[in-house]
Structure 1
Amino acid sequence: MIVFGIVGVSLVTADLLGPAAAGIVAAFPSLSATFALLVARARGVDAAASALGGLVVGLRGYFAFCLVVAGTGWVALGVLAAVAMNCGLGRRLSLHGTSRDRH
């Protein structure tokens, strides 16, 4: 059912805003759901919740990466922007540490 929802939203987005926007809308929920399911299966629900929390925080870095690469065409510069953004944000929010599933 979730897959049908993602596909439906992607198709409507493609009609309204074009294929690039549809790719953005479809990619994040699909990849993050797959990631969460794999982590939950391997490490448990608490680890999956912690991983998704980190993923959400990392979105700013991903956004910085996309902006820099789109503006300059330099992937290496985009990676540096993402690392700088995520390291600063992680420190500010005190997110660096082990997940609750590790004792």
Structure 2
Amino acid sequence: MTVKDFDVGQKVFIINMYEGRNCEPEIREAKVKAVGRKYVTIDNGNRYEHEERFCYGLVQNTDYGEITYLCPSRTDANNYIEQSKLSKWLSNITWIKCRKYTLEQLRKVKEILVD
């Protein structure tokens, strides 16, 4: 998704993941104030830009603090949150936890995850 996919006045959804804190992710509504060549600016002045790693929308352009994400729909925002939670869950499966799965289950997981 690129800057060109957004329009002035469009309702958008801001995700704050609260990484490293004991908080649930938050989704807020905002409106697009300006669309430039490189950035989308929302009504509070925050600017968002395209980054390859985030396919659901745009990433906040900031030098400090927690980064927020801009999505064109609430569905995209919820999908990103779900993907993030599932990725963390998958990365936290340890050898001890994996031993409770059958060989067939592990083969199916490998088949799905390996390109």
TM-score by length of 1: 0.29
User: Would you tell me which structure has more helix in proportion to its own residues?
Assistant: 1
Q: Which has the higher contact order (CA 8 A, sep 6+)?
A: 2
TM-score by length of 2: 0.26
User: Would you tell me which structure has more strand in proportion to its own residues?
Assistant: 2
Larger radius of gyration: 2
